[in-house]
Structure formats: C-alpha cells, structure tokens
Structure 1
Amino acid sequence: MTSPPPDWLPEGTNLDRQAHVRDYVAKHNRPRLAAAADVYTLACERMAYVLDTHDRAFVSFSGGKDSTAVLNVALDVLAREKALRRHLPLRVVFFDEEAIPYETEEYVRRVGERDDVALEWYCLPVQHRNACSRRHPYWWPWAPEDEAKWCRPLPPEAITTYPGFPIWPAEERLTIPNFNGLLAPPPHTTATLMGIRAQESLIRAHAVRLRSVDNYIVKYKIKSKDRQRAAVDPGNLWKAYPVYDWRTEDVWAAARIHGWDYNRAYDVMEMAGVGASGQRCSPAFGEEPLQKIHTYAACFPDVWARMAERVPGIGAAYRYARTELYGYGAKPPKPDGMTWPDFLRHYIAKHGDKQQKVAARIAEVIARHYLKTPHPILPTAPHPDTGLNWSFLLTLAMRGDFKERRQESNQLMTRTKVEHWRRYTEELAAVLTAGTGRELNHPRPLPADPYALIPDEYRQEAPQ
C-alpha cells in the first residue's frame, strides 16, 4: 500500500436535538442525576464564584434564550450580593450579526435600557462562515463594502470601530472569538459569561468535561495562528458556563417563574410551528444554521428579503441546504475500484481557494488516527480508539468544517467499546473477503486476522 500523497499532509438527517439527547442518555445509562439544589440555585452559586474570583466579567450576549438565562442569573446574583457589586453596571457585549430578526434588535435595545446593564453593541465586520458557497466561504456583517446589501439599517447604538480591530484588508478581520481577546486587557483577570449548555450538542458537552473541579470555567484560547495572535491574546481571559447543565425547558421555566424579559422572535417561531429544539435567532449562513434557513423565510420575511441577496450561494442553499450538495442526508456512494483519498479529492476540489485548508484538516485527522493506532481506517465502522472512518472524512471533504466543530471521537458515544470492536473487526473481515483493501489506502499491509486486533478486555468469541 502507498502512503497518503504529500498534498494531504498538514502545512445526515437533521435530528431533533431533544430526542437525540434522550437517545444518547438512554444508550449510556446516564440519566440526569439529582443534585442538592435546582439548576437555578446551582447556576447562581457558580455565577457568584466566577464574579468573586475574577477582576472583571462580561456577558457574551446574543439575544438568544441561553445568553438571556446567563444575563439574568448574573443580574440576580449582583442584586443580592453586595460584595460583588463592583461588577455593576454589568458589562454586556452584543455582536450584532446583521442578518438577525428585528425582534432580536428590539430585545437587545430593551436590555440596554436597564440601569444595571452597560451594553456594548458592536456592529463590526467580524469574519463569519458562509456555508452557502464553497468559492466564498466567509462573509462579514456590516462590511462597509457591502453597505448596499445590509439586511437591516445600522442601529443608532452601533459601535463600528475598536482599537486593534482591522477593517482593511478584509482577510485580516478577526472572528468573534479572537476579537474577545481585545475585550480583556491585562493585567486584570476577565471572565466572559457564556450560555453554553451541554444539551445542545456533544461538542458542547465535551466543553464541560474537563478534569477539573471547576469544570465550567475554561481558559480562553485564541484560535488565530498568524501574526495577529500576539495582538489579540492577552492570556488573562476565561470562559465560564454557569448554565451548562440546564435543559431547554429549564431556560423557559426560569423565564416564566422569574418574569424575565426575552426575545419575542421565539414567540414568532413558536406560532409558526417550529419546535423548541429548532428555534434559533443566529444568522442562517453557517453549516449547522443552514438547515434552518427556511425558518427565516417563513418567520422573518422582512429580514429574509434582504438575506436572500446578502451572501453568494444563498439561493442554492435555500433550495438544496438539506441535500447531498451541502453534505446532508445520505452520502454519495464511492465508485468501485476508486481509493478513498481519490474520492475525497473530488469533493475537496469544490472548495476553490480553500481546498488546501480542507485537505490539511483531513490530513490532521488522519495523522491523529495513526498516532494512536496502526490499524486501517475503514469505510463506515469507526475505529474503537479514535472514532475515525472514511465516512467521517467524506463529511469533512463535503462540508469543509472550517470551525472544526466535528470531531471523530464523537462517533464513539453511541455504542459500547465491545460493540465498536465487533463492528470494526466484522467490517475489516468483509473488506479482506471482498479484496477491496487497496481502496482504504492503508500505508502498510492489512492485518491477516482482524479479530486478533481486539484487546483482551474487549474480546468476545469471534464470529465463525
């Protein structure tokens, strides 16, 4: 077998989220554990601890339900704890992403009118993912060169410049995560309070599984790898997830019980028949939000009329967002006789000037697999130690995964280790029987006895 070519080296049906979480919990026999207090009380305790142990803090506010919960928990704690009132008025940072409902704008304005809130309303051309087009993978809300295409008029509260944020050239503009580093100048320790909840996705569940006592407080890591890093990474910023164990029903129950104000866009989506798990107020141009693009057209026609012309590829995305064209639904079958790397190159090439980045991402994942195991990557069975298979790599090739939200290890979370080894060895045996091992592009001879690969602690009687 030959090694992967040099240019590879580094330089699905839309499931209801609540049903997915229920299935996940059932399969792993990890029901929600009873705690000594309700989730609101626990969130208040965490919030008080974060505010007490950090010099400064700000709420990363989107106008959505989760950041609404974080905002109100923080304000409730500050109203009760006199020792923490140095944080008043509470700093609230809102990045206006332009292609959002007017109901969100109205809600954020109401938040900004509160005496206990110091709102910073940023309308900056931060870099965003445009999954509608492979040739134009990014877009910039409020970009001055696109003013004629803006989805909404610029709000009067807008902050349109910030020290250290480059407006020109466009490729130097920061992402929101990297811009956050500018909001925490040293030497003060700063906590950004975020509405990350484990129920939302497996990636977010992993975010609070760190092996530490305060598993909801995470060091902020700037993702910029270029010369901007030193300018935007102060090293004193932390992320805090005080409502990480809340469920969607907890968020709405708290709003009802405590009388919190909230974004009326959720009422519009509810009346339109959009279930709670599918209600999103963020722009619909990214990989995951793209599946909800029809919600904007149905619920927010005034904004959708402008969104329909805002980014390249939006028309095609509206028609085909849930099809193979955008990497959703059933994956295309690999032609017989073609190697998997060649099959992936066909889709990588569709990403235009970003194809090297996609190829590097795939090469990184493959290298990570071979650092852990010498075993081959199979078409559909995830390797029991790494979670990698060619089907996962095909998804990366088709979608790009520029935000690196998809991790191969997540494929190991729906079965036991014994089940994964059984599935892996059975598929490898089938490949050997069919004589299609060359298509795997494994850099060494394939194991003659697949069942000998199973570690003793996971070994069961091999199929006859």
Structure 2
Amino acid sequence: MADKLHININVYQALQKRLAYIFAEFENIYVAFSGGKDSGVLLELTLHYMREQGITRKIGVMHMDYEAQYDMTTQYVTRVMTGNADLITPYWLCMPMSVPCTTSMHQSAWIPWNPDEKNIWVRPMPNHPSVINIDNHNFDFYQPGMIDYNLQEKFIHWYQQQQGGGSTVALVGIRTQESLNRFTAIVHKTKSWKGHIWTTATGKNNCAAYPLYDWDVEDIWTANAKFGFDYNKLYDLMYYAGLKPHDMRVASPFLGAAQETLNLYRIIEPHTWGRVLGRVNGANFTAIYGASKAMAFKNISLPKGHTWKSYLDFLLATLPEDTRNKYLEKFNSSINYWTEKGGALPKETADELRAIDAPAEYLGEPRRQQKYTGEMEFVKFSEYPDDMPINDFKSVPSYKRMCICILKNDYACKYMGFGLTRLDMQRRKAALEKYKNL
C-alpha cells in the first residue's frame, strides 16, 4: 500500500512505521553510512528498532572511504564498522574511484586510494577484515577509475547477488531540508517503490529508501541526545569553532560541500592539513577563500568596465584548456536550452521578468507531463541574460551565474541547475587506460 502523509504523529513515530514496513517488505537491507550525522543517526535508529523488535537477522553497513578526512571521522567510522557485530555485516570500501574535485582548476576529479600515489596518501589504508580494496575485492562490476556514484549504484546489485537474490533496499540518510535538489530527487511517485514517496526504485527488485527524508537537523541532534547515540565528535569541535548546526559538513575536503569549511582542517587537525595540501592542487587557496567573495559564496561585484559576459570571457581565458572546454560544454548547453527551447519557471518569477521587460517569450503552462510543486510558466529568452535583478536570481539563467560557477570551482555547474553529472567519456577513457594493468 502506498505511503500516506502522517499528520498527527511526529517524525520519530513516522520513522518507526517506515522501518516496520522496510523489515517486513525486504529480504536484504543495508545502510549507506558516510560517517556524518544523518547516516549515523539512521544507522543507530535502525539498530535501536531491531533490538526493540527482537530482530536478529543482520543488515549490511556500506561505507565508501574517500581517504582524505579528519582523524575524528576515521575514529568514528572505525567504531561503527567494528561494533554491533551481532547485527551488522560491514563493507568498508577503500577503492580507487574518480571523485569530483572542486579545489583545483587543473583537475576536476581525483582518485582516492590511487595505488600509483600511495606515497602521498592522506592516511594509511585501514587495517580491518571488512576493508574492501583494490587487492582483495570481488566486484564483478568494478572498472579502474570508475566514478564514485557509479560504484555506489552498482553496489546494491552486487549486494543483492551476494545475499542470494531477493528484494533488497539501501537505506540512505539524506534529508530534504538540505536542499531543493534533494527534495525533488527523493519525493516522487513515478520512480518510487510501490508508491512510497520516500523511496526510489533502482533496478529489478531493489530500491533506495530515505526514512529520514522529512527530518530537520534539530531532529537529528535531538535523537542523538535522547538516546545517547555515538556520533562523529568532529561536530563538537565545529560547534566550538562557531559553526551553526546547519553549516556543519564532514564531507571529503575536495568536494563542493566542504569548500566553505576546508579552512577548519588546518585549525582542528594541522597534521592532517599538511597531508591534504600535498594531495590535490588548490586546497590551500580554497581553504583561504572558500567562504569569501573570491569563491563567490558572498555577493560578488562586477569589475569596472565589464559586462558579466565579458567578465566570463576573461575568467575562461585564465583556465587550463581542458577545464575551459568542460565549462564551455555546460554553458553552451544552457544557452541553447534557454534561447532555442525554453524552460519552466515559477509563475511569480515570470511575472517579475515581465515587469522589467526582460527579452523573453512567455509561452503559457509547461506542456510536459512533469509534475511541479507550484504554478509554472514556460519562458524562452530571445537573448541570453547578462544578469537579472529579480528576487529568485538562481532560477533564471545568466552570464553572472556562469561566472559564479567558475569562481566556485563548480565543475558540475550545480549552481546553474545542472544535476550531478558523470565525468565525460574522455576522462573515463583516460582513467581506464591508466589503470587497465592493475
């Protein structure tokens, strides 16, 4: 039966109903554990539920280790992966894989646990029976240099096979409060498992589930305090350093999510910071300017004598050729889309554009069958905007947004509305060539 909205219960009670459904519906269950607060609470609450209900069958815990991280994160992951042996089977993945890199203009990806760079690894390979690495894995899907998201997606099918088949679910600790992109990715019915909006079907007889999708960050810390759960003590230091709970991240230092807090590495763990500096080009610059105007996390000003388009041309000219071409591919795609085809914008945004006489055609309601959360209008620009002085600046394409992408080292151009992408075929081919003899 499809999921219904729970009006008169709190998020914890709603979670209990979801866990009851999960354990009744699926033969194989594992938790995708990152070492952060959300996946940690999800795992703890799942184990708490199992003990309360007398469930003794084991669940898997899959952790993708990105090599470069705080010692406190490693300590927490180690506690989790070596504890609760009566209820979990740990899978500690330390595999070479292509990971987006937003700290360097010279490389858009890096390879954690790259055997060719062992001498500059940020930390040694973990030593535990659950560790799966390039030397001992039996992944039939693995290809040298494969993208981390591909590895994560393939793991559920591998896990299902290892369990002898049967219905399989991956529990993922992400919350829609974090971003609108997460909300739209999670809450849907067309790709859900039997109509449950907090699930996504991922293949034959398997799916991903997001039981905490409607929790707030305050709920996460309330659960930790109420039940006395273990958690990554790095959050305590971040709190002492003045970060608000909504701003705390423990992601790999070279990912976009960690840019603003990268400077904390040299404050909290200077010994780790020294190794991070030698791992990927650009870490120091991003640490210094990651939360400043230089990285466009604040309002940026247009240099005198420039339009945003001319400033974009200047910024592109400063980049390495490979990086420049990668951005141009995205930018040209956006220009073609909005000037030749058009796209859906919130009705109030379209009205703002009319009020300022923006060079655009207003084509009525979207003709596609896609469901929207509010009233939308289809808009096509006769010329690509340089900038738009409207309230919802991030919903409208502009050359200014392109400049911000470059200043943020946002290779995926998420700031412009592009989703997380696969690395281009040329990079993949180069990675395969590099690692084919491993």
- Paired residue for 1:4? none
- Paired residue for 2:91? 120
How far has the Cα of 1:156 moved from its partner? Answer: 0.4
Closer, same or farther: CA 260–273 of 1 in aligned 2, 3 Å = same
Is 1:363 the counterpart of 2:341? The answer is no
Which whole-Å CA distance do the structure 2 matches of 1:384 and 1:296 have between them?
32
Is 1:265 the counterpart of 2:234? The answer is yes
How far has the Cα of 1:150 moved from its partner? Answer: 1.4
Name structure 2 gaps, 5 residues minimum. 343-378, 420-438
TM-score normalized with structure 1 length: 0.69
Is 1:219 the counterpart of 2:201? The answer is yes
Q: Which amino acid aligns with 2:170?
A: T
Which whole-Å CA distance do the structure 2 matches of 1:147 and 1:252 have between them?
37
Q: Which amino acid aligns with 1:159?
A: I
Q: Report how many aligned residue pairs link the two structures.
A: 358
- Paired residue for 1:181? 154
Name structure 1 gaps, 5 residues minimum. 1-32, 221-233, 411-464
- Paired residue for 2:39? 67
Counterpart contact for 1:90–1:117, Cα < 8 Å: yes
| Two-structure CA RMSD over aligned residues (Å) | 3.0
Q: Secondary structure at the match of 1:191?
A: strand
Counterpart contact for 1:388–1:409, Cα < 8 Å: no
Is 1:53 the counterpart of 2:44? The answer is no
Answer 1 or 2: which has greater strand percent. 2
Q: Secondary structure at the match of 2:263?
A: helix
Q: Which amino acid aligns with 2:316?
A: I
Q: Which amino acid aligns with 2:381?
A: H
Counterpart contact for 1:380–1:390, Cα < 8 Å: no
- Paired residue for 2:397? 388
- Paired residue for 1:12? none
Q: Which has the higher contact order (CA 8 A, sep 6+)?
A: 1
Q: Which amino acid aligns with 2:199?
A: I
How far has the Cα of 1:177 moved from its partner? Answer: 4.3
How far has the Cα of 1:352 moved from its partner? Answer: 3.2
Q: Secondary structure at the match of 1:374?
A: strand
Q: Which amino acid aligns with 1:198?
A: T
Counterpart contact for 2:405–2:416, Cα < 8 Å: no
Closer, same or farther: CA 145–81 of 1 in aligned 2, 3 Å = same
How far has the Cα of 1:72 moved from its partner? Answer: 1.8
- Paired residue for 1:289? 258
Which whole-Å CA distance do the structure 2 matches of 1:236 and 1:180 have between them?
14
Counterpart contact for 1:59–1:93, Cα < 8 Å: yes
Which whole-Å CA distance do the structure 1 matches of 2:313 and 2:151 have between them?
31
How far has the Cα of 1:275 moved from its partner? Answer: 2.4
Q: How does 1:160-171 map to 2 (within 5 A)?
A: 160-161=133-134, 162=137, 163-164=139-140, 166=142, 168=144
Q: Which amino acid aligns with 2:231?
A: Y
Is 1:76 the counterpart of 2:58? The answer is no
Match for residue 102 of structure 2 among 104, 128, 131: 131
> More displaced, 395-404 or 92-101?
395-404
The one-character-per-residue Cα deviations of 1:301-350 (angstroms, maximum 9, x if unpaired) are 2322211222111122222223454343333526657682x543433341
Q: How does 1:169-208 map to 2 (within 5 A)?
A: 172-185=145-158, 188-208=166-186
Which whole-Å CA distance do the structure 2 matches of 1:280 and 1:236 have between them?
33
Closer, same or farther: CA 385–104 of 1 in aligned 2, 3 Å = closer
- Paired residue for 1:401? 410
How far has the Cα of 1:385 moved from its partner? Answer: 12
- Paired residue for 1:95? 64
Q: Which amino acid aligns with 1:216?
A: W
Counterpart contact for 2:28–2:59, Cα < 8 Å: no
TM-score normalized with structure 2 length: 0.73
- Paired residue for 1:28? none
- Paired residue for 1:245? 214
Higher radius of gyration, 1 or 2: 1
Is 1:144 the counterpart of 2:115? The answer is yes
